[in-house]
């Protein structure tokens, strides 16, 4: 299973990341074809549960997600051979809003809608490759 890298260092635990990180923007690349995908991954899930018996307040549960083995939400990436995958963290983020903003920034920087090797076919679900006259 490929490991996440940042600045040439392997990232295997949350303690390897800056304090306060809630997620990261990543690039997954197939080393044999050059195809790549840019996305974001949150490190924690937040859930609201019903109150315990006899209590009135709802419970909030924060749980670490399984980010270490995460491939992508893009189905083609999940079909790649694991020995051809390079998983790179482009940027750490300290809020969910920053995560969305920097994902869009990296997608535009890497010209994901114009680059033929990019597997991203839209940005924010609003700007689609098919709608652009490239």
111, 117, 121, 130 from 114: Cα distances, Å: 5, 9, 9, 10
Token pair in block for residue 87 = 């998983």
The pLDDT value recorded for residue 133 is 66
The pLDDT value recorded for residue 1 is 64
Range of the domain at 70: 4-131
75, 89, 123 from 5: Cα distances, Å: 22, 6, 24
Token pair in block for residue 62 = 């924060």
* Total domains in the fold of the chain: 1
- pTM, entire model: 0.86
> Does 3 or 125 have the greater pLDDT score?
3
pLDDT, tens only, 63-96: 988 898 888 878 888 888 888 899 999 999 999 9
């Amino acid at each position: 299973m490929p490991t996440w890298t940042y600045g040439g260092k392997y990232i295997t635990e949350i303690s390897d990341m800056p304090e306060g990180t809630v997620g990261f923007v990543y690039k997954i690349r197939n080393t044999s074809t050059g195809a790549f995908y840019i996305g974001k991954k949150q490190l924690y899930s937040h859930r609201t549960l019903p109150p315990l018996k006899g209590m009135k307040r709802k419970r909030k549960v924060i749980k670490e997600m399984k980010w270490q083995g995460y491939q992508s939400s893009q189905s083609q990436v999940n079909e790649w051979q694991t020995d051809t995958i390079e998983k790179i963290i482009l940027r750490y983020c300290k809020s969910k809003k920053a995560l969305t903003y920097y994902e869009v920034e990296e997608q535009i920087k890497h010209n994901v809608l114009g680059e033929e090797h990019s597997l991203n076919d839209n940005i924010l679900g609003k700007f689609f490759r098919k709608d652009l006259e490239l």
